Structure 1
C-alpha cells in the first residue's frame, strides 16, 4: 500500500476521496481539524511538528490536499488563514514533493522562467 496523507479528510471532498484512495491502493492518513470517519489525525496543516510526525511515522509519499476553509469558518479564522490554506501553503512542507498550493506552483513557474502559466 502506498501511504498518503489526505488533508480535509472530514470535509465534503475528503469524505469521498478517502474510500477511492483506499480502493486505488493507498493507506490513507486523514488529517482534519474536525474528527470524522476517515480522519485518523485531528489537527491543523499549520502545526509543523504534527505534519513532520505524520510524514515520519507513516513514510508518506503522497499528499492529497483537500483541506480548505469556507464560509462557516469566517467567524473562526483570519483572512490570512483563508489565503494560506486555500491558495498558499507556499513552501510549508519544506521540500519539493511536500510543497503544494497555487502560489507554490506560480513560484515554481517564475523560478524556471516559464513563458506561460
Structure 2
C-alpha cells in the first residue's frame, strides 16, 4: 500500500517506493516496537516538580548494574573504540571485559570479580 503525503513524499508499508528504493519505515521492525521491547505502563507519582521513580524500578536498575564499574570523563568525551582499547591495554585483564555506554557513562562488566576489585582499588586511569 503506497500513499502520497500532501507534500509529495511517498510512503510505503512494504518498505519500498514505486522506483524500488527503500523508504524510512523499512528501518523499523514490522509489527511495531511493542513486539520487540517489553514495555509496560507504570503509574507515576509527582512530588513538587519531580516524578518519583517506584522503588521496584530502582531495584531492577541496581540489580542490572551490580557487577559493573561505572566510568566517565571529567573533561572531553572520547570515542568508544579508543576507550575500549585504552582500558584493555592499561589493565591487561585475563578474564575479559564487557563495555557498554549510554553516550555519557561507560559501564564496565568484568568476568573475573577479583580483577574488578583490583581495578576499583587502583583508582582512576588516564585515557588519551
- The answer to whether TM tops 0.5 is no
Instruction: Name the structure with the higher strand share.
Output: 2
Which of structures 1 and 2 has the larger relative contact order (alpha carbons within 8 angstroms, sep 6+)? Answer: 1
Instruction: Name the structure with the higher helix share.
Output: 1
